[in-house]
Amino acid sequence: MQGAWRGRITGLHPGKDIEPHRIIRPPSLKPGATIGVVSPAGPVDGHELEQGLHRLEEEGFRLRLGANTLSRDGYLAGRDDARLEDLHGMFLDPEIKAICCARGGYGSMRLLDFLDYPMIRANPKPLVGYSDVTAVLLAVFQRAGLVTFHGPVVRDVAGKDQQNLKSMISALTDNGPLLIALNADGVVRPGKSRGPLVGGNLSLICHLVGTRYLPPLRGAILFVEDTGEPAYRLDRMLTHLRLSGHLEGLAALVAGDFEGCLEDSALKQLLADRTKGLDMPVAAGLPVGHGRRNLTLPIGVEAEMDTDSGTLRLLEDRVSL
């Protein structure tokens, strides 16, 4: 592992916006490439992070930590300007070919108003994370027009299911089609639909409603996941999305893992109830989220969900225009 990189941007300044003319996909990761590691949200335990870094090194990647990756300021991984500096610095550094987040937690939303979206678009690189990092993934997709990747954080890649790490590497190194099997018992409302894949943590998606950082969901296949939320709060979040008009016009809705929330049968019932009267396929059982399986999904890539075959198919090198 290489030493920590010292960023070039100091202080918080209002971020710059663009209205992208088209969505772009970052270049594929090459063997032996250097991956930058940042903590845009909560603080990470050094021992847990070290195990993840070691696994990535075993896969042949070189690593570079942001100067503030291991910082701690209460429930945040350092000050906002320091976390922003690390993230901007990784996009600006030509030696860094992909950016992986150390962990989730809380704090990513605090950076959205200050991100330099034109700079990010001018330096397209894969950005990977999930949970609280959903906020940055969706904002960068929406404001910079860059496909981002919902996938494992670094502290997770040494444990859980090693298929998660393989999936992440495959998603970053290959733009080809991908077929993901859904849970055979997860169909809520049958059907087949196609659209750009958008989603992430349900709580963060709800918190982005009413901001300029949530991508348009009309015509999209929306995937959601969450952890540790009681049933009434999931009900409230789905109801919020419905009342705000964000469930209407979806191409499809698919639920990932809801670790520590409610039983699968209760989740299906809740999805059926909250999408009643909406003409779209709905399913549960997508292997993403805080549970054992967290396969990597590119946000913005064209996908097709088919409940008859029980699959979510990502189309080859297709992005939403």
Q: Do both 154 and 239 map to the same domain?
A: no
3-state secondary structure of 312: strand
Identify whether 21 is a catalytic site residue: no
Handedness of CA 135, 136, 141, 145 (dihedral sign): positive
- Marked catalytic residue, from 290, 302, 304, 320: 290
Q: Tokens in use for 96?
A: 């860094």
Amino acid at position 318, single letter: R
Q: Do both 243 and 282 map to the same domain?
A: yes
Q: Do both 168 and 209 map to the same domain?
A: no
Q: Do both 295 and 266 map to the same domain?
A: yes
pLDDT tens track, the chain, 321 positions:
333 322 233 345 555 555 555 899 999 999 899 999 999 999 999 998 999 999 999 999 999 999 999 999 999 999 999 999 999 999 999 999 999 999 999 999 999 999 999 999 999 999 999 999 999 999 999 999 999 999 999 999 987 678 899 999 999 998 667 889 888 889 999 999 999 999 999 999 999 999 999 999 999 999 999 999 999 999 999 999 999 999 999 999 999 999 999 998 999 999 999 999 999 999 999 999 999 999 999 999 999 999 999 999 998 654 433
Domain count along the chain: 2
Is residue 116 in a domain? yes
Are 316 and 177 a contacting pair, CB within 8 Å?
yes
Q: Do both 28 and 169 map to the same domain?
A: yes
Is residue 106 in a domain? yes
Identify whether 47 is a catalytic site residue: no
Beta-carbon contacts of residue 181 (< 8 Å; ≥ 6 apart): 287, 310, 311
CATH number at residue 288: 3.50.30.60
Identify whether 290 is a catalytic site residue: yes
CATH number at residue 89: 3.40.50.10740
Q: Do both 123 and 143 map to the same domain?
A: yes
- Marked catalytic residue, from 85, 203, 225, 304: 225
Q: Do both 251 and 295 map to the same domain?
A: yes
Are 227 and 290 a contacting pair, CB within 8 Å?
yes
Looking at 143, 173, 203, the residue that finishes a domain is: 173
Domain that holds residue 81: 16-173
Q: Do both 194 and 162 map to the same domain?
A: no
**Whole-angstrom distance, CA of residue 17 vs CA of residue 102:** 26
Looking at 143, 158, 173, the residue that finishes a domain is: 173
pTM for this model (two decimals):
0.91
**Residue whose tokens read 């191409």:** 251
Q: Do both 48 and 140 map to the same domain?
A: yes
Is residue 4 in a domain? no
- Marked catalytic residue, from 131, 167, 193, 203: 131
**Whole-angstrom distance, CA of residue 56 vs CA of residue 65:** 13
Looking at 120, 143, 173, the residue that finishes a domain is: 173
Beta-carbon contacts of residue 94 (< 8 Å; ≥ 6 apart): none
